[in-house]
Amino acid sequence: MAPTYTMAGGKGPNSYSQHSTYQRALLEVAKEKINEAISTKLDVNSASNRFNIADFGCSTGPNTFLAVQNIIDAVEEKYRKETQKNPDDNIEFQVLFNDHFKNDFNTLFQTLPPTKKYFLAGVPGSFFGRILPRDSIHVGHCSYSLHWLSQVPKGIADRNSPAWNKDIHCTGFSEEVVEAYQDQFKIDMGCFLRARGEELVSGGLLFLLGSCLPDGIKMSETMKGMLLDFMGNCLHDVAKEGLIDQEELDSLNFPIYPAHVAEFKSVIEDSGCFTIEVFERISHANEELPLDPAFLVTSHKITFGGILETRFGKEAMEKTMERIEEKCQDILPQLANAKSGMQYFIVLRKN
């Protein structure tokens, strides 16, 4: 069954819109790289008088608005230099915001920038398949979304399977579990790329930003992996208190897989849809999560609170978050010595 994981909606103190500075930092530092890619690798003349942009996995804002504006600014600058004309008089921008059906599109539309210079539409649906007309998009964007799989890999939640996973994520220490997650990633990423390959115009650009793993690093050796392991331990504590059924907890696996660099490149090349123009590590000021218990609890609640509440109930979810905050101080030294993950910036050009 397809996952229904979405970031916490609304505009309240525990919403994604109020707690997404980590993701925003990568968009800010990528602005100049996006400018350069559009300036040197995109033919704006092919857009005629309409230029279509799509953000896949837009969530609720405000980050998606920044991503879109970065692209528009770069296109306008290139158009102005090449034609000596005012883009305001000659280009009509249309932006398509895509995310899961359960995404909070109401908040997204309510918080649109008042100075926006584009027409827009919300496009609910999974981006693992084609959701937009063929050859309709000039620039696509996807940020911090591709580590989510379309489903938990086969065998992971089956006690009789050699790939049965006793943890809540792919730690990287079980070969069978890793292979199952790798296989699902290859399927999903391949579907994503083929769908975008149909939607983008020839020569169109696709920007991918997010987190992956350097080759040779296991997920549980990184801070994010350690935090997932820690949340799993806290869930087991709550199960011992009787608020969570242990068998139900044993079957919990998050469909999250930050691929290694080599895996990422291999899937892109195998798809045959795109040429890799840029694939590089990119750093930003908030690259490592702050070692602050309150921040870490809020981050967990925004990202995982919804599915934990749906699966185990609100009381169990709240108790788990309380336990994370109570015990978080104990793992701070371990987090401080974690191996570094990797933030990536990828530019793909439609073949």
Question: What tens digit of pLDDT does each residue of 23-53 get?
Answer: 778 888 899 999 999 999 998 764 568 999 9
Residue 10 is predicted with a pLDDT of 54
**Confidence bin at 102 (pLDDT 50/70/90):** confident
Cβ neighbours around 75 below 10 Å, total:
24
Alpha-helix runs per DSSP H in the chain: 21-41, 63-83, 87-90, 105-110, 175-199, 223-240, 246-250, 261-271, 293-312, 314-336
Q: Which residue has the tokens 């379309």?
A: 150
> String of b and e for 28-40 (b: at least 16 CB within 10 Å)?
ebbbebbbebbee
Among candidate residues 2, 4, 274, 289, the one with its CA nearest the CA of residue 142? 274
Q: Which residue has the tokens 């102005």?
A: 80
CB 92 within 8 A of CB 50: yes
211-254, pLDDT tens digit by residue?
Answer: 999 999 999 999 999 999 999 999 999 999 999 999 999 999 99
**Confidence bin at 20 (pLDDT 50/70/90):** low
Taking the CA atoms of residue 300, residue 301, residue 307 and residue 313 in that order, the dihedral angle to the nearest 10 degrees is: 130
In a domain, 8, yes or no: no
60-100, pLDDT tens digit by residue?
Answer: 878 899 999 999 999 999 999 988 889 988 999 999 999 98
Q: What is the CATH number of the domain that holds 93?
A: 3.40.50.150
Residue 298 is predicted with a pLDDT of 84
Residue type, 120: L
In a domain, 9, yes or no: no
Mean pLDDT of the chain: 89
Residue 1 is predicted with a pLDDT of 37
Structural domain boundaries, residue 133:
16-350
Angle CA 234–169–14, to nearest 5: 60
326-342, pLDDT tens digit by residue?
Answer: 999 899 999 989 999 99
| 305 vs 316: CA distance, rounded Å | 10
Residue 83 is predicted with a pLDDT of 87
How far is the first Cα of the chain from the last one, in angstroms, to the nearest whole number?
A: 33
In a domain, 76, yes or no: yes
| 288 vs 290: CA distance, rounded Å | 6
In a domain, 333, yes or no: yes
The residues, ordered by sequence, that sit 6+ positions from 240 with a Cβ below 8 Å of its Cβ are: none
What mean pLDDT is predicted for residues 272-291?
85
Overall number of domains in the chain: 1
Sign of the torsion angle spanned by Cα atoms 343, 96, 137, 128: positive
Residue type, 63: N
In a domain, 64, yes or no: yes
138-185, pLDDT tens digit by residue?
Answer: 999 999 899 999 999 999 989 899 999 989 999 999 999 999 999 999
In a domain, 131, yes or no: yes
Residue count of the chain: 351
Among candidate residues 287, 289, 315, 291, the one with its CA nearest the CA of residue 303? 289
Burial of 168 (0-12, 13-18, 19+ CB in 10 A): buried
In a domain, 148, yes or no: yes
In a domain, 20, yes or no: yes
| 83 vs 151: CA distance, rounded Å | 47
Q: Where are the beta strands (DSSP E) in 20-90?
A: 50-56
194-216, pLDDT tens digit by residue?
Answer: 999 999 999 999 999 999 999 99
